[in-house]
Amino acid sequence: MKQNDIGGEEQDALACDGCAVVGRRGFLVRAGAAAAGVLVALGALPAMAEAAPLEFVKALGGGRQDKTYPIPAADGVQIDKDNDTILARWQGKVYCFNLGCPHQNTALHWSDKDTQFECPKHHSRFLPDGTYIANSGRATRDMDRFAIKRDGNNVVVNLDSLYQDDDDEAAWKLAFISVS
């Protein structure tokens, strides 16, 4: 059978014989390495390129309300989609936030470049400690924080104890652990 006698999908399959199939994880690893290479080529130091990375994590364990996570090794943000939490290490402190924006519960995004959280819906922005950046969107309060405590090299987050700065400011201000 000649190649011009077959349909488009079949031509694509013939043209790809011998192509290596790359899984999603492999693609993301390669894309991340390429992005880091571009940053270095443009003059960004590797330390700057990794200043506050975003990772996805899963809780190590815990019951229905308490979830255990390893203490992040460096400043950055980790998201646990299964439990709708954000674990953030910033300037010697670790916080655990609700993943949803306090305005309408839209999932927040982390910007490595700006080192801040942003709501994609109404563009409210928040500092790495969860403090609302005034006049940036429709939020009216800081990000909601979960109760958190240290347990050796881990943190334990109580998902039943969520603090809002406008309802319980004292508890909100204390909802972090110090790491050095």
Q: Over the stretch 39-73, which tens digit does the pLDDT of each residue have?
A: 444 444 443 334 456 666 666 556 568 999 999 99
Residues 6 or more apart in contact with residue 14 via CB below 8 angstroms: 3, 6
Comparison of pLDDT for 18 and 23, the residue scoring more:
23
- What is the reported pLDDT for 127? 97
Same domain, yes or no: 19 and 90:
no
85-98 per-position pLDDT tens digit: 999 999 999 999 99
Same domain, yes or no: 39 and 61:
no
- Range(s) of the domain holding residue 93: 54-178
Same domain, yes or no: 112 and 157:
yes
pLDDT band at 180; cut points 50, 70, 90: confident
Average pLDDT in the chain: 79
Per-residue pLDDT at 106 exceeds 70: yes
- What is the reported pLDDT for 65? 85
Same domain, yes or no: 14 and 100:
no
Torsion of CA 96, 112, 105, 99, to 10 degrees: -30
Q: What total number of domains does the chain contain?
A: 2
CATH of the domain at 88: 2.102.10.10
Same domain, yes or no: 96 and 149:
yes
Single-letter code of the amino acid located at 74: A
Same domain, yes or no: 59 and 133:
yes
Please tell me the least confidently modeled range out of 2-11, 68-77, 102-111, 120-129: 2-11
Long-range pairs, 156-159, Cβ under 8 A, ≥24: 156/62, 156/66, 156/67, 156/68, 157/66, 157/67, 157/68, 157/69, 157/85, 157/87, 157/96, 158/65, 158/66, 159/64, 159/65, 159/66, 159/67, 159/83, 159/85
Same domain, yes or no: 63 and 121:
yes
Please tell me the least confidently modeled range out of 15-19, 124-128, 158-162: 15-19
Same domain, yes or no: 39 and 67:
no
Same domain, yes or no: 131 and 94:
yes
Per-residue pLDDT at 102 exceeds 90: yes
Same domain, yes or no: 155 and 114:
yes
Per-residue pLDDT at 155 exceeds 60: yes
Same domain, yes or no: 115 and 38:
no
- What is the reported pLDDT for 20? 53
Per-residue pLDDT at 15 exceeds 90: no
Same domain, yes or no: 88 and 22:
no
